[in-house]
Structure 1
Amino acid sequence: MSGPNTDYDPVQVTPLDEENVVAMRDAALAAIEAAGDLAALKQVRLEHAGDRSPLALANREIGALPPQGRKEAGQRVGQARGAVNQALAARTAALEAEHEERMLVEEAVDVTLPVDRAPRGSRHPLTTGAELIEDIFVAMGWEVAEGPVVEAEWLNFDALNLGADHPARTMQDTFWAEPADHHLVLRTHTSPVQARTMLTQAPPIYVVCPGRVFRTDEYDATHSPMFHQVEGLVVDEGITMAHLKGSLDHFAGRMFGEGIATRFRPSYFPFTEPSAEVDLRCFVCRGVDSAACRTCKGEGWIEWGGCGVVNPRVLTACGIDSERYTGFAFGMGIDRTLMFRTGAADLRDFFEGDVRFSSSFGTEI
């Protein structure tokens, strides 16, 4: 019976011979020393000290040796891996200290410099736009009139000569408040403010009425169920369409620059007679070479609003002598006017609350 086999080569596994282990250790130490920053050192750590590094793979080969040779091979590989880990720790400490020193220089802050830590605020462009319009008419001697947004059906329709069968009364255009027998609506225009003014104030009347209005429109780039209107009303003796034309020309000039005129196209509104659509001379091409103008699309004119001479029935309904007094009224969207004035392409930008949009207008328009 034979005894244990003691005749073996303890370095018969090639990765475990002394020359190979030293070579792997030296390669790792050289890579660690060459790492110029923490990111490069992280990559070196993975390549030379990770689970798939040469020394880690060599360590796995120890199990292939006979029991008598494992101790010597284990010490050899363990010493090499220990030297690599010590070099990694030292290089990490050195690079971290270097990184902190560089940050102190590159990211230094002069705390003696003045600083405004509070961001500059801005007012909403619709607010400043409405105030600008008010200022234009106040400078002409007019007054600013306001009214509630939840309005009586009679003031929103009947007083303005919109009969019971008028299509604007249907749910297609109007938000009705419940219960229905209260006859309340979200006002569809600011004309009820004109009716309220005529009911409470004797002529002469010169008022401009800005405010929010509501209609059951789709919400898209050019429509909204809530938008803003400005309407004007004049009631006095001897008022004609000429006064209306002059007032709108002055308004257009102040909003869009000198030389911007208006034109009238015949139309129909229940509360004015005669009535007209107001077109605005294109403020981009000014009617010159309009074929190439993207704003007016070759027309030279842009639709702006509606206007006309106040219907005598409206004056009578509000208790004003229509034989003695005449008047004119007009209305246009503040949102649409500001889109023209500022070049805004999407009506929704005014309503969606993005402070980057509002802050671009500053505190005044």
Structure 2
Amino acid sequence: MENAVDQISESSMCHVIYDRFGDRDVLQVVTSEVPAPDSGQVLIRIHGAGLNPIDWKTRKGLGFAARQIEHSLPWTPGYDVAGEVVAVADDVTTLAAGDRVMGMIGFPATGGGYAQYTLAAADELAIVPEELDLVTAGALPLAALTAWQALFEVAKLESGQKILIHAGAGGVGHFAVQFALERGAHVVATASAGNRDFLAELGVHEVIDYRTTDVAEECYGLDVVLDLVGGEAGKRSLHTLGEHGVLVTIPTVTADEIISAAEELGLRAHGMTVRPDVFHLDEIAELIEDGDVKVHIEQAFPLARVADAHELLEGGHVRGKLVLDCR
């Protein structure tokens, strides 16, 4: 892998592919020509590419994205990028070479983020605030958009409401707690004891250690639950809702059973799938610019160590985000 990275030239680039579904050993770093932008596209020299749980699930052939790409292998994974625009198609007027951009690109079938260069639709990209370095910015779009859309589009969270956020220290979770606090909600989050201080520093009002405490005994009458864990944790959380409360569950694999359990209890629960939205990204960028939201990176990996990054990602106990440093 290191050799492939060393051999890069100006007309070629390194990127990650897999040609079959499977364990981490299917990931390989290869060299290809740098592509040229087509109508509506820009070419980005990637600095940071975010890693998300959907990446390892898709690599294993699980979930809806895997169904979209199974006949298009080999495929370059990655939906989150930030970097510098190096070329634009003739019909692109909104961006120019040198612009610092980030976006959730190629979702769900194109991907392309685990690379030194990639093509993206100009309308998928937001300008990165000066306060944010481009490697860190690469970890933001998908997780931040998931949190934003779950809280404000699906749950319709309002100031003064009380919300429980499961896995508050994780990738989506650490954005969700900050967005909810910024909106003026009272925020309760579950986490391991080791993440209590991290969440307290973000401003979370109450942290519940999910290993020692049953949320259904600790919380009641909640307006919103954001369930980033799924399964039994999601179902148990239904008992914390007030009569008019709503639970939003993110893991798609258990969404149907949680929604059914809610219906049996006469409560509301919704699943959701994130979608690219550059207007939401712009709003999130503004919060970062104002210092209201921070992106926490647990670790950055070079492209050559993508399998190590996936190993940590699959473990499921990352604080904040993991990112590939593609420079």
TM-score class, shorter-chain normalisation, is under 0.3
Q: Which has the higher helix share?
A: 1
Q: Which has the higher contact order (CA 8 A, sep 6+)?
A: 2
> Per residue, is there more strand in 1 or in 2?
2
Q: Report the TM-score, using the length of structure 1 for normalisation.
A: 0.23
Pair member with larger Rg: 1
